[in-house]
Amino acid sequence: MSKQINIVNSTVVPIKMENIDTDQIIPARFLKATSRDGFGKNLFRDWRYENDDEQQPKKSFPLNNSNYTGSILVAGKNFGCGSSREHAAWAIKDYGFDVVVSSFFADIFKNNALNNFLLPVTVSDSFLQNIFDAVEKDPTASLEVNLKEQTIRISSSNLTEKFDINHYKKTCLLNGYDDIDYLLSIKKEVEEFEKHLA
Amino acid sequence: MAKTLFEKIWDKHVIKTIEDGPSVLYIDKHFIHEVTSPQAFKGLEQRGLKVFRPKQVVATADHNVPTINQHLPIKEELSRKQVQTLKENCEKFGIELYGLGHPYQGIVHVIGPELGVTQPGMTIVCGDSHTSTHGAFGTIAFGIGTSEVEMVLATQCLLQSKPKLMRINVEGKLNKGVVSKDIILYIISLISASGATGYAVEYAGSAIRNLSMEARMTICNMSIEMGARCGMIAPDEITFNYVKGRQFAPAGKAWDEAWAYWKTLYSDADAKFDKEININARDIEPMITYGTNPGMGIGVSGHVPALTEIDEKEKPSFEKSLLYMGLEPGTNIKGKKVDYVFIGSCTNSRIEDLRMVAAFVKGKHKADDVEVWIVPGSKQVEKQAKEEGIDKVFEEAGFILRQPGCSACLGMNEDKIPAGKYCISTSNRNFEGRQGPNARTFLASPLTAAAAAITGEVADVRELISTALEVE
Ligand code: SF4
CB pairs under 8 A between A and B: 185
Find chain A residues with C-beta within 8 A of B227's C-beta: 78, 81, 106-107
Of B386, B359, B354, which Cα lies nearest the Cα of B372?
Answer: B354
Alpha-carbon gap, residue B191 to B188, rounded angstroms: 5
> Mapping DSSP to helix (H, G, I), strand (E, B) and coil, where does residue B59 land?
strand
Q: Cβ contact (<8 Å) for A111 and B148?
A: yes
Instruction: Assess whether the C-beta atom of B224 lies below 6 angstroms from ligand 1.
Output: no
Question: What was the pLDDT predicted at A4?
Answer: 84
A111 CB-near residues (< 8 Å, 6+ apart): B144, B145, B148
Identify any residues that bridge with B230 across adjacent strands, giving them in sequence order. B200
Find chain B residues with C-beta within 8 A of A16's C-beta: 316
Question: What was the pLDDT predicted at B88?
Answer: 98
Residues in chain A: 198
Average pLDDT, rounded, for chain B? 96
Confidence of residue B472 (pLDDT cuts 50, 70, 90): very low
Look at residue A143 and tell me whether its pLDDT is greater than 90. yes
Question: What was the pLDDT predicted at A3?
Answer: 74
Instruction: Assess whether the C-beta atom of B448 lies below 6 angstroms from ligand 1.
Output: no
Average pLDDT over residues A71-85: 96
Average pLDDT over residues B195-218: 98
Find chain B residues with C-beta within 8 A of A84's C-beta: 36, 127-129, 143-145
Q: What is the DSSP letter of B425?
A: E
In a mutational test of the A interface, the residue from B29, B159, B256, B417 whose CB has the highest number of chain A CBs within 10 Å is B159
The Cβ-side half-sphere exposure at B255, using a 13 Å CA radius, reads: 13
Alpha-carbon gap, residue A118 to A96, rounded angstroms: 10
Alpha-carbon gap, residue B122 to B134, rounded angstroms: 9
Nearest 5°: phi and psi at B41? -65, -40
Q: Which residue among A16, A76, A190 places its CB closest to the CB of B157?
A: A190
Locate the ligand 1 atom nearest the alpha carbon of residue B410 and give its number: 7
Of B149, B118, B197, which Cα lies nearest the Cα of B41?
Answer: B149
Give Rg (Cα) of chain B: 21
Confidence of residue A2 (pLDDT cuts 50, 70, 90): low
Per-residue pLDDT of B304-336, as tens digits, reads 999 999 998 889 889 999 999 999 999 999 999
Whether complex ipTM tops 0.85: yes
Nearest 5°: phi and psi at B21? -150, -165
Q: Which of B37, B65, B345 to mutate to test the pocket of ligand 1 (most atoms within 8 A of CB)?
A: B345
Alpha-carbon gap, residue A94 to A81, rounded angstroms: 19
Find chain B residues with C-beta within 8 A of A122's C-beta: none
Question: What was the pLDDT predicted at A1?
Answer: 53
Q: Which of B62, B125, B181, B224 to mutate to test the pocket of ligand 1 (most atoms within 8 A of CB)?
A: B62
Alpha-carbon gap, residue B8 to B262, rounded angstroms: 11
Average pLDDT over residues B6-28: 96
Per-residue pLDDT of B386-444, as tens digits, reads 999 999 999 999 999 999 999 999 999 999 999 999 999 999 999 999 999 999 999 99
Look at residue A146 and tell me whether its pLDDT is greater than 80. yes
Alpha-carbon gap, residue A9 to A11, rounded angstroms: 7
Alpha-carbon gap, residue B36 to B109, rounded angstroms: 15
Phi-psi region of B116 (alpha: psi -120 to 50; beta: other; left: phi over 0): left
Per-residue pLDDT of B113-137, as tens digits, reads 999 999 999 999 999 999 999 999 9
- Return the H-helix or E-strand segment holding A142: strand A142-146
Average pLDDT over residues A95-105: 97
* Least confident range of A164-178, B209-223, B363-377: A164-178
Beta strands B297-299; B287-289: pairing state: antiparallel
Alpha-carbon gap, residue B82 to B91, rounded angstroms: 14
Question: What was the pLDDT predicted at B468?
Answer: 44
Percent of the residues in chain A that have a pLDDT greater than 70, as a whole number = 98
Phi-psi region of B93 (alpha: psi -120 to 50; beta: other; left: phi over 0): alpha
Of A108, A113, A86, which Cα lies nearest the Cα of A98?
Answer: A113
Average pLDDT over residues A39-65: 95
A198 CB-near residues (< 8 Å, 6+ apart): B257, B261
Confidence of residue B158 (pLDDT cuts 50, 70, 90): very high
Per-residue pLDDT of B276-298, as tens digits, reads 999 999 999 999 999 999 999 99
Alpha-carbon gap, residue B222 to B347, rounded angstroms: 7
Look at residue B270 and tell me whether its pLDDT is greater than 60. yes
Identify any residues that bridge with B157 across adjacent strands, giving them in sequence order. B26
Percent of the residues in chain B that have a pLDDT greater than 70, as a whole number = 99
Nearest 5°: phi and psi at B187? -60, -45
Look at residue B20 and tell me whether its pLDDT is greater than 90. no
Q: Are A115 and A89 within 8 A, CB to CB?
A: yes
Alpha-carbon gap, residue B133 to A16, rounded angstroms: 32
Domains, in order of start, for chain B: 5-162+247-258 (3.30.499.10), 164-236+267-283 (3.40.1060.10), 288-463 (3.30.499.10)
Identify any residues that bridge with B426 across adjacent strands, giving them in sequence order. none
Distance from CA of A105 to the nearest CA of B (A): 8
CA distances in angstroms from B454 to A126, B127, B363, B461, B472, listed in the order given: 49, 37, 11, 10, 19
B229 CB-near residues (< 8 Å, 6+ apart): A107, B142, B163, B198, B199, B200
The Cβ-side half-sphere exposure at A127, using a 13 Å CA radius, reads: 20
How far apart are the CA of B184 and the centre of ligand 1, in A? 17
Confidence of residue B86 (pLDDT cuts 50, 70, 90): very high
Locate the ligand 1 atom nearest the alpha carbon of residue B429 and give its number: 3
Confidence of residue A198 (pLDDT cuts 50, 70, 90): low
Please report the beta strands in A68-118, taking only residues with DSSP state E, as ranges in sequence order.
Answer: 72-75, 99-102
Identify any residues that bridge with B31 across adjacent strands, giving them in sequence order. B58, B126
The alpha helices in B203-314, defined as continuous H runs, are 206-209, 213-221, 237-243, 252-262
> Mapping DSSP to helix (H, G, I), strand (E, B) and coil, where does residue B231 land?
strand
Find chain B residues with C-beta within 8 A of A182's C-beta: 159
User: Which chain A residue lies closest to B21 (C-alpha atoms)?
Assistant: A168
Look at residue B208 and tell me whether its pLDDT is greater than 70. yes
Alpha-carbon gap, residue A163 to B409, rounded angstroms: 37
A51 CB-near residues (< 8 Å, 6+ apart): none
Give Rg (Cα) of chain A: 18
Look at residue A182 and tell me whether its pLDDT is greater than 70. yes
Look at residue B467 and tell me whether its pLDDT is greater than 60. no
